[in-house]
Amino acid sequence: QRRFIFPDNLLGISWVDSSWIPILNNGSVLDYFSERSNPFYDRTCNNEVVKMQRMTLDHLNQMVGVEYILLHAQEPILFIIRKQQRQSPTQVMPLADYYIIAGVIYQAPDLGSVINSRVLTAVHGIQSAFEEAMSYCRYHPSKGYWWHFKDQEEREKTKPKAKKKEEPSSIFQRQRVDALLLDLRQKFPPRFVQQKPGEKPIPVDQIKKEPEPAPEAVKTEEKETVKNAQSAGAKGPPEKRMRLQ
């Protein structure tokens, strides 16, 4: 059975040897990169074979396999080294790029890693925004959905409450309310009456009602008072009558 060993992700690490920083140049940067403690360096590369056989780097073009070359240099601050697979003296396939800034070695991310990182960052931001928005969402069957923000509560607490001006009621409203109250009073008459403020309410049945005069008797009394007044006016006062001798 074959076991496939996946290499660790080297994009999040860096390596530096401070003793090499003062002497870094185009000729010594590959020797600095081939240090044994450098995790980016592959010991099975052709550079290691050339180094052990004490040959020049020009012999790398005649070999097949993994090799490291100096791709770009900007002394003394920046150096770019490429790891590539050589298949023939004229055909190579890039595998990875490494850049050295002020003596610190980093691995340059590939396009797939860059896109993956940007997509994950964007998705994480969108998901966080949705979660935060849902935390402010409220729902009630009678009201429906609305937004409830904490800042809004603090602003409402700090703001002075303005007193609402009470508008006077219209004649239509007063007449309509009086009509409704009269209708309710006729449908549901009161059972207790408080004759004076502070006294105990008394049931309506216990209140003594004065007998009301019959309408016919009232009419007759009125007629009699009218006749008496007319006769008195015609005769005149008795004091002014002339005595007959």
Taking only the tens place, the pLDDT of each residue in 102-132 is: 999 999 998 888 899 899 999 999 999 999 8
The last residue of a domain, from among 108, 140, 169: 108
Range of the structural domain that residue 72 is part of: 14-108
Same domain, 30 and 59: yes
Q: Are residues 131 and 77 located together in one domain of the fold?
A: no
Residue 168 above 60 pLDDT? yes
Structural domain ending residue among the three candidates 89, 108, 127: 108
3-12, 65-74, 133-142, 234-243: which range is least confident on average? Answer: 234-243
For residue 109, cis peptide bond before it (omega within 30 degrees of 0): no
The reply to whether 207 falls in a domain is: no
Name the domain count of the chain.
2
**Is 86 in the same domain as 102?**
yes
Contact 32, 102 (CB under 8 A): no
Q: What is the pTM of this model?
A: 0.49
Domain-located, residue 237: no
By the 8 A CB rule, do 54 and 48 touch? no
Mean pLDDT for the chain overall: 80
Cα separation, 117 vs 120, in Å, equals 5
pLDDT at 9 over 80: no
